[in-house]
A and B are shown apart, each in its own frame.
Chain A
């Protein structure tokens, strides 16, 4: 696809995709109580590339799980467009994940018994308006490896299949939990390029969780998390291409 075909949403003025207020998630009770999220206020907008930074246990992953409809908050408000995710049923959450969310995990989570093409095809079969598996894999540069099983792919290739799987349904939201955590720098950059391209070409709100502060430079907005709260956030004037990143 021609990168210039769709203009990158350089400035984020689009409508809010997620509207989060006073979001709290408490695990356990009494002395064992853990406040994983402690009153998060946040708005995430269409087409944004957001990097969530923070130390281990700061609540990043918990927030991502709430956003992705994998878990329900204890209190607070969480809206996706017009939908109130706080009070959604399991079936509604499944429907939401199926139609609107693409997930990318640190450990790829591919189905080992399906080839790259089939892993993507699994999703395109059930999605409303998907691209073809071939298109999705082309976007991540894996056309040549489409019929390989996960065991026959490198870590970076596996993660790119995971990205293809996530974007094939043209989701509105892409949620990535340490997508380069298990990869070396060179491979990591290839994966980030694929993410960046998806964000730019499809206009998908992309939220990336990472420990890696270097990645902040490629974002529109950087949110620092600590103790279950938004500690600070800033916007980058320009997004740095992933290829120039080093860590």
Chain B
């Protein structure tokens, strides 16, 4: 049989069900967020680790122009190298039926016989390449899915300018392309860019690279240091056009997953903290209310010999029931949301088996944090009650002490109605309770700012990236640096309104011991397409000499305007030269360096060449243009802004939308929870007073005004604080999401703020309506019988 004290507990709980549920719900939001984020981190990390291990993902990588295969022996001799593997990596253009624009991709070679030692593929569907076969190809899953390609389907590829049709034997995944995107692109475009694998012999023959390699992967011996290996490798491969080797932490696909994990980590700390903080305030409010009602009961328990400890424990149990309910709901919510987000991750990350894995540590943390938070909320309330001598506590609480409120003391008394005076004095008498409510409400308001600010930030990135920085409609990339004459050919294509040549070059930029490897881009003096823009949105005109770095790159290197950075070309004659950092440019994705077109060519010492062009197109002639483009084999990549934008909307925007919806839902729940809870507490605490007002002839509306005015005063104080707090919180979070992959601009719009204000207003109105309804059902007779 349940001990009598526990029966009391359950009956008390039933009476306070609404408020207990509100606390549990807010707590559940925080815990769901915590469990979701931690479990996603755990899922991504463990899945990635297993994938890397099972498929022998390499630890150091290098791309080079061309080196003889026998060099592999010397690479293996480098101290610290465990295994090394060479292969070919070449760009291709595709001819896909049904897609007007040329698609492109990378072809990677596989050993003619046997499995590769490193970076092994995972066969999703179909079969491996038959040993020694010709005319077969493996296709990356992301590309196959986006284009509905299946094993057995034909695929037409322009291999080094020669059109060849292959048969797709299998759909595969690679640990090198968990995040599969065009090199340097911030967003995936799986429809027009794919990765393909073919036997070495076939690739080498087509590209005239037989007996040579242009890509290298290796693993390190246990305990070996990466740096000296990279240094030795760079020295060895320098004569062969090595572009500079790099470790896993700089591997583009690896970085993307790591950046996602970093953002999740941030979210797993920041958000739940706020939610749980609100829950603590609410617990304290509910418990304080319960305890003040049960003052006499506590006294009687004590009079009968219950110890303080027993009494504290009794009320802690009350809180534990709320935590348990919150934890359960949080667990279910966290798992459900986690599953949804994992599905979203599948849009970006290609793992053989990415499943949601519940992180047991997260559950333990959630339980501990939940319990601590609520205990914190309970202790202070319970201690006060337990410390009261039984004889004092058994007497009904004397009428509370009131005094004229602050506004009245200012001499404005005449301006206040009775209802307003009651509300003001009541708030002033219990400042801590008012402070807690204001704090809870302010946090709820603050939480409403972040998701919409995020959304506005993303929109700004898009506008900035595609309407301010890159104003062309299409970017073209050439198979290799070509004479500027090809630019004229491109300009003659049908529908071209404007054409600007472009030159990109692989470089490494050094400053005081720090360095970054990037593709440096050219700027055209007076160019209308690609531009560099400063923080205030003004165009930076390219200097004759000197280099412009993106602000993030400058920050990573620690360089300031006027400093001299060393730029090492990783192609051509591989010259190393000092350049003055003349300006920093604003951008939000990746890191970038810009140089004036002629300066970049002077520096590289290759004469007047280009590697691509940007096109302004008459969109009505788009099909004609793309068809003509397919006939120019030297064009290897085509990036159409509209396609990118659309793809972005379907993937990134959709996923951001999901996250934003989740956060917003949670924030709305918190806002409602806090306000509802507060209104319920006021109603319960003052039912006697309000019933008296009703009995002596005040209408429901007049009595309701007393409660509503109080709610309105609290909201009016809390909302501005919440808006400030939200601005601060968002600033911190946005600044923390400041990786080399992506940075969010800090955008606060009127909409963002109005949304928060309106939501809180609606929550307040609904809560007020609810309380008013309760007020109608108040038992006038019972409330008057005796003071509680």
Report the Cα distance A139→B787, complex, angstroms: 27
Contacts of A152 in B (CB 8 A): 401
* Chain A, residue nearest B401 (CB): A151
- Is B77 engaged at the interface, CB distance under 8 Å to the other chain? no
Given contacts A105-B784, A109-B784, A151-B399, contact A114 B697 (CB under 8 A): no
Q: Which residue of B lies closest to A99 (CB)?
A: B697
**Which residue in A70, A71, A98, A105 is a CB contact (below 8 Å) of B698?**
A98
Contact of A110 with B by CB under 8 A: yes
A165-B698 Cα distance, complex, nearest whole Å: 13
Instruction: List, in ascending order, chain A residues with CB within 8 A of B781's CB.
Output: 65, 70-71
Per-residue CB contact flags for chain A residues 86-113 toward chain B (1 = under 8 Å, else 0) read 0000110011011101110111011111
Given known A-B contacts A105-B784, A151-B400, A118 and B698 have beta carbons under 8 A apart: no
A179 → B minimal CB distance (Å)? 13
Q: Tell whether A150 is near chain B: CB-to-CB under 8 Å.
A: yes
Q: Which residues of A contact B402 (CB under 8 A)?
A: 112-114, 149-151
Determine whether the beta carbon of B695 is less than 8 Å from that of A114: no
Assembled-state Cα–Cα distance A110/B700 (Å): 18
Q: Is the CB of A97 within 8 A of B695?
A: yes
Q: Choose one: B401, B421, B429, B700; the contact of A114 (CB below 8 Å).
A: B421
**Known contacts A151-B400, A151-B401, A151-B402: does B429 contact A113 (CB below 8 Å)?**
yes
Which A-chain residue is minimally distant from B698 (CB atoms)?
A126
Q: Is B38 engaged at the interface, CB distance under 8 Å to the other chain?
A: no
Considering the chains assembled together, what is the distance between the CA atoms of A231 and B398 in angstroms? 38
Count of A interface residues, CB-CB < 8 Å: 39
Asked if B418 contacts A125 (CB within 8 A), the reply is yes
Does A111 lie within 8 Å of B698, measured CB to CB? no
B425: interface (CB < 8 Å): yes
Chain A: minimal CB distance from B714 (Å): 16
Q: Find chain A residues with CB under 8 A from B418 CB.
A: 114, 118, 121-122, 125
Inter-subunit contact A107/B787 (CB<8 Å): yes
B694: chain A residues within 8 A (beta carbon): 94
B693 touches A (CB below 8 Å): yes
A85 proximal to B (CB < 8 A): no
Contact between B696 and A110 (Cβ–Cβ < 8 Å)?
no
Taking a contact as CB atoms closer than 8 A, the residue among B401, B697, B784 that contacts A123 in the complex is B697
Interface centre among A94, A97, A99, by most chain B C-beta atoms within 10 angstroms, is: A94
| A73 on the B face (CB < 8 A) | no
Q: What is the CA–CA distance of A126 and B694 in the complex, to the nearest angstrom? A: 12
Chain B residues contacting A54 (CB-CB under 8 Å) are none
B422/A113 in contact, CB under 8 A: yes
A228 at the binding interface (Cβ < 8 Å): no
Q: When A and B form their complex, what is the total count of cross-chain residue pairs whose Cβ atoms lie within 8 Å?
A: 91
- Asked, given contacts A97-B697, A123-B697, A151-B401, whether A109 binds B422 with beta carbons under 8 Å apart, the answer is no
Contacts of B699 in A (CB 8 A): 91, 94, 98
Residues of A within 8 A of B400 (CB): 112-113, 151
Contact assessment for A98 and B421 in the assembled complex, using a CB-CB cutoff below 8 Å = no
- Chain A residues, CB < 8 A from B695: 68, 70, 97, 103, 109
The answer to the question of B702 belonging to the interface, with a C-beta cut-off of 8 Å to chain A, is yes
Residues of B within 8 A of A110 (CB): 399, 692
- Complex Cα gap A125–B401 (Å): 24
The secondary-structure label for the interface of chain B is helix
Annotate B487-513 by CB proximity to A: 1 below 8 A, 0 otherwise: 000000000000000000000000000
Decide yes or no whether B649 CB sits under 8 A from chain A: no
Interchain CA distance A166-B697 in the complex, whole Å: 10
Does B12 lie at the interface of the complex (its beta carbon under 8 Å from any beta carbon of A)? no
Q: Is B636 an interface residue (CB 8 A)?
A: no
Question: In the complex, how many angstroms separate the beta carbon of A90 from the nearest chain B beta carbon?
Answer: 8
Tell me, in angstroms, the Cα distance from A70 to B695 when the chains sit together: 7
Does B689 sit within 8 A of A, measured CB to CB? yes
Give the CA-CA distance A99 to B696 in the complex, in Å.
9
Contacts A99-B697, A123-B696 given; indicate if A149 touches B784 (C-beta within 8 A).
Answer: no
Question: In the complex the two chains form, is B421's CB within 8 Å of A113's CB?
Answer: yes
**Contacting pair B787 A113 (CB below 8 A):** no
Cβ proximity bits A163-185 to B, threshold 8 Å, 1 near / 0 not? 00110010000000100000000
Hey, which chain A residues are within 8 Å of B422, CB to CB? 111, 113-114
CA of A150 to CA of B787 in the docked complex: distance in angstroms?
14
Residues of B close to A127: CB separation below 8 A: 697
- How far does the Cβ of A172 sit from chain B's closest Cβ, in whole Å? 13
Contact of A151 among B398, B421, B698 (CB under 8 A): B398
What's the Cα separation between A65 and B783 when bound, in Å? 13
Q: Is the CB of A107 within 8 A of B786?
A: yes
Pick from B425, B700, B784: contact of A113, CB under 8 Å: B425
* CB proximity of A118 to chain B, nearest CB, Å: 6
| Complex Cα–Cα for A95 and B694 (A) | 10
A107-B786, A111-B692, A113-B429 given; A118·B421 CB < 8 A: yes
- Nearest opposing residue in chain A for B429, CB measure: A113
Most buried by B among A106, A107, A123: A107
A102 to B695, CA, bound (A): 9
Which one, A71, A101, A151, contacts B697 given CB within 8 A? A101
Q: For residue B701, which residue of chain A has the nearest CB?
A: A94
* Chain A residues, Cβ within 8 Å of B700: 94
By beta carbon, the residue of chain A nearest B417 is: A125
- B611 interface contact, C-beta 8 A: no
**Residues in chain B near residue A102, CB distance under 8 A:** 696
- Among A95, A109, A150, residue most surrounded by chain B Cβ atoms (within 10 Å): A109
Asked if B426 and A113 make an inter-chain contact with CB atoms under 8 angstroms apart, the answer reads yes
Highest count of chain A CB atoms <10 Å: which of B398, B429, B697:
B697
Chain B hits for A111, CB < 8 A: 422, 689, 692-693
Contact partner of B403 (CB less than 8 A), chosen from A97, A99, A107, A149, is A149
Cβ-based interface call for B780 (8 A): yes
Residue on A nearest B691 in the bound complex, by CB:
A109
Q: Is B531 among interface residues, defined by CB-CB distance under 8 A?
A: no
Chain A contacts of B780 at CB under 8 A?
70-71
B350 in contact (CB, < 8 A): no
Residue in chain A with minimal CB distance to B405? A113
For A50-70 the 0/1 string (1 means CB < 8 A from B) is: 000000000000000100101
C-alpha gap A185/B425 in the complex (Å): 34
Residues of chain B in range 398-423 having any CB-CB distance to chain A below 8 Å? 398-403, 418, 421-422
Q: Which residues of A contact B521 (CB under 8 A)?
A: none
Tell me whether B529 is interfacial, beta carbon within 8 Å: no
**Whole-angstrom distance between the alpha carbons of A109 and B686 in the complex?**
11
B295 within 8 A of A: no
Q: How near does chain A come to B651, taking the closest CB pair, in angstroms?
A: 58
Inter-chain contacts of B302 with A (CB < 8 A): none
For the complex, is B48 an interface residue (Cβ under 8 Å from A)?
no
Smallest CB gap from B403: residue in A: A149
Nearest residue in A to B690 (C-beta to C-beta)? A111
Does B688 interact with chain A (Cβ within 8 Å)? yes
B723-743 interface mask toward A, CB cutoff 8 Å, 1 = contact, 0 = none?
000000000000000000000
Enumerate 8 A-B pairs (CB-CB under 8 Å) in ascending A order. A94-B697, A95-B697, A113-B400, A114-B418, A114-B422, A122-B693, A126-B697, A150-B402
What residues make up the interface of B, taking CB atoms closer than 8 Å to A? 398-403, 418, 421-422, 425-426, 429, 688-689, 692-700, 702, 776, 780-781, 784, 786-787
Q: Given A94-B699, A105-B784, 6 other A-B contacts at CB below 8 A?
A: A97-B696, A98-B697, A106-B786, A109-B689, A123-B697, A127-B697
Nearest 3 A/B pairs, CB to CB? A98-B697, A113-B425, A109-B692
